[in-house]
C-alpha cells in the first residue's frame, strides 16, 4: 500500500462503524499526516448522553470548595496513588521549558477500574457506575482504533497494538482526566502548554462554544485551531477527537505523528474538557514494529520528532535502548510534576 501525503490540512471525520481495509487506510492516513482525526459518533460506542452527563458531573465537582478537592490531591494515598486525583491550579506544566508558571487549569485523574475503581470524592463517588461505563466505552473505542491501525500497517498480527492494551492482562498507565480551565482576565495566552501526549492514543471531548485547542501542523509548521464540531450542518453530535500519542510514534518509527498541541485563551471564558489517555500495558516494549507499510512510508518528519523525543527522555543519541511503556511514563511524569 503506497502512502501518499495529503495536501488537505483539514482533519477528516471518519466513520469507523463498519470497519474495512478502506476505513483502516483512512485512519492511518490521518494519523500519519496530522496525528489528529475525528471519529463520527455512532451514538452507541460512547453514547452522547453519557458524554453530556460526564460534563455535568465535572462541572459539579470542580465547583466544590478547594479543601474538598485538595483532600484527594494528585499522587496522594487517599486518591489512589501516583498520577491519580486532583491537580490544583497551576499544579502542572505541560511545557516546562516554555512556561515560567504552571498551566492555569485544574484536573482530576481517574485510573482504570482494575482491580477496582480508586476512591473518589463526592459528587464523583455517587456516579461511579457512569464513570466506569464511560471509561470502558472509551477503552473500547481506543481498542477499535488500534485494530484498524494494525490492519492498515499490515502487521503479521493485526491485533498486536490492541492486545497490548488489554486491561484484563495487567496494569497500564491509562488515565481518564477531567479538565477545568477557569475564566480569567489574565493577559497570558496559554491555558495548556505545548506538548505531545504521553500514551498511545488520546480521545478528547470538548464543548461547543469553548474553543482554544490548537495543533502544531507537522507539515506546515504553524498552529491550527481544532474545531469542536467541524461539520455542524451535517453532524448533530460532535465527533470524537482522537490524537496519536508518543508511544504509537515510537512503535512506528515516527510514521504515526504524536503531534504537538496546546490550549490558548480564545476569549478567556471558562472551559471544560475531558481526555482519555490510552496507554499500553506497563511491560510493553516501545520498539518499532515490523511492517512493510512503514518501510515504504516517508517518515523523515516523524524520525526528526522521534529523535527529539528520545533526547528529551534522556536517551543517548544513536543509542538503541528500548524503553518499556512504564519506564517512558515514569520519565514523562517526572518532568511534568517533578516526582
Ligand X SMILES: O=C(O)CCC(=O)C(=O)O
Which CB sits closer to ligand X, 109 or 143? 109
Binding region for Fe ion (CB under 5 A): 197
Site for ligand X in 270-329 (CB under 6 A): 273, 275
Asked if 194 interacts with ligand X (CB under 6 A), we say no
281 binds, among ligand X, Fe ion, none (CB under 5 to 8 A by kind): none
* Residue 212: closest CA among 241, 246, 235: 241
Cα distance between residue 115 and residue 164, in whole Å: 18
Question: Which of residues 226 and 293 has its CB atom nearest to ligand X in the complex?
Answer: 226
H/E stretch holding 50 reads helix 48-62
Nearer to Fe ion, 106 or 197 (CB): 197
Residue 93 sits in the site that holds ligand X (CB under 6 A) = no
Residue 179 or 281: the one with the smaller Cβ distance to ligand X is 179
Under rule CB under 6 A, residue 179 binds ligand X: yes
The one of ligand X, Fe ion, none whose footprint includes residue 92, by CB under 5 to 8 A per kind, is: none
Whether omega before 35 lies within 30 degrees of 0, making that bond cis, reads no
- H or E segment at 145? helix 128-152
The C-alpha angle 254, 256, 260, rounded to 5 degrees, equals: 85
Q: Is 227 helix (H, G, I), strand (E, B) or coil?
A: coil
Among 141, 148, 192, 281, interactor with ligand X by CB under 6 A = 192
What is the Cα–Cα distance from 189 to 267, expressed in whole angstroms? Answer: 10
In DSSP terms, 123 is beta-bridged to: none
Residue closest to ligand X (Cβ) = 273
38 phi and psi angles, rounded to 5 deg: -100, 140
Please pick, from the candidates 31, 152, 204, 240, the single residue that binds ligand X as defined by CB under 6 A.
204
Spatial strand order in the sheet of 213-216: 190-195, 261-264, 213-216, 223-225
- Take residue 335 and report the three cell numbers written for it: 518532568
**Which listed option, Fe ion, ligand X, none, makes contact with residue 204 (CB within 5 to 8 Å by class)?**
ligand X
Among 142, 213, 242, 248, binds ligand X (CB under 6 A): 213
Nearer to Fe ion, 24 or 204 (CB): 204
| C-beta of residue 25 within 8 angstroms of C-beta of residue 143 | no
Report, in Å, the least distance between residue 279 CB and Fe ion. Answer: 13
Name the strand (E) or helix (H) holding 6. Answer: none
d(CA 145, CA 129): 24
How many angstroms separate the CA atoms of 1 and 127, rounded?
46
* Complex with ligand X: residue 215 or 293, whichever CB lies closer: 215
Shortest distance (Å) from residue 302 CB to ligand X: 20
Name which of 192 and 244 has its Cβ closer to ligand X: 192
Residue 110 engages ligand X in binding (rule: CB under 6 A):
no
141 binds ligand X per the rule CB under 6 A? no
Q: Which does 179 bind (CB under 5 to 8 A by kind): ligand X, Fe ion, none?
A: ligand X
List residues near ligand X by CB under 6 A: 179, 192, 197, 204, 206, 213, 261, 263, 273, 275
Amino acid at each position: 500500500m503506497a502512502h501518499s501525503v495529503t495536501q488537505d490540512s483539514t482533519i477528516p471525520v471518519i466513520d469507523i462503524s463498519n470497519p474495512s481495509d478502506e476505513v483502516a487506510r483512512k485512519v492511518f492516513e490521518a494519523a500519519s499526516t496530522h496525528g489528529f482525526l475525528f471519529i463520527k459518533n455512532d451514538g452507541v460506542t460512547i453514547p452522547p448522553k453519557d458524554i453530556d452527563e460526564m460534563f455535568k458531573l465535572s462541572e459539579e465537582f470542580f465547583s466544590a470548595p478547594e479543601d474538598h478537592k485538595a483532600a484527594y490531591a494528585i499522587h496522594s494515598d487517599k486518591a489512589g496513588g501516583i498520577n491519580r486525583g486532583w491537580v490544583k491550579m497551576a499544579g502542572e506544566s505541560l511545557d516546562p521549558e516554555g512556561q515560567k508558571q504552571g498551566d492555569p487549569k485544574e484536573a482530576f485523574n481517574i485510573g482504570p477500574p482494575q482491580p477496582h475503581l480508586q476512591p473518589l470524592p463526592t459528587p464523583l463517588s455517587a456516579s461511579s457506575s457512569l464513570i466506569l461505563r464511560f471509561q470502558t466505552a472509551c477503552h473500547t473505542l481506543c481498542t477499535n482504533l488500534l485494530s484498524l491501525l494494525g490492519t492498515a500497517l499490515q502487521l503479521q498480527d493485526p491485533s498486536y497494538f490492541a492486545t497490548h492494551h488489554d486491561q484484563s492482562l495487567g496494569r497500564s498507565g491509562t488515565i481518564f482526566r477531567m479538565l477545568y480551565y477557569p475564566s480569567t482576565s489574565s493577559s497570558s495566552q496559554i491555558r495548556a502548554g505545548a506538548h505531545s501526549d504521553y500514551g498511545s492514543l488520546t480521545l478528547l471531548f470538548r464543548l461547543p462554544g469553548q474553543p482554544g485547542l490548537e495543533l502544531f501542523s507537522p507539515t506546515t509548521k504553524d498552529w491550527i485551531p481544532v474545531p469542536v464540531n467541524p461539520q455542524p450542518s451535517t453532524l448533530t453530535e460532535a465527533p470524537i477527537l482522537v490524537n496519536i500519542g508518543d508511544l504509537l510514534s515510537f512503535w512506528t518509527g515516527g510514521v504515526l505523528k504524536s503531534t504537538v498541541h496546546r490550549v490558548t485563551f480564545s476569549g478567556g471564558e471558562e472551559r471544560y474538557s475531558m481526555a482519555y489517555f490510552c496507554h499500553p500495558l506497563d511491560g510493553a516494549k516501545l520498539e518499532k514494529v515490523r511492517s512493510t507499510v512503514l518501510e515504504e512510508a516517508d517518515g523523515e518528519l516523524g524520525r526528526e520528532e522521534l529523535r527529539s523525543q528520545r533526547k528529551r527522555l534522556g536517551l543517548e543519541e544513536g543509542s538503541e535502548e528500548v524503553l518499556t511503556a512504564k519506564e517512558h511514563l515514569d520519565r514523562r511524569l517526572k518532568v511534568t510534576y517533578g516526582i
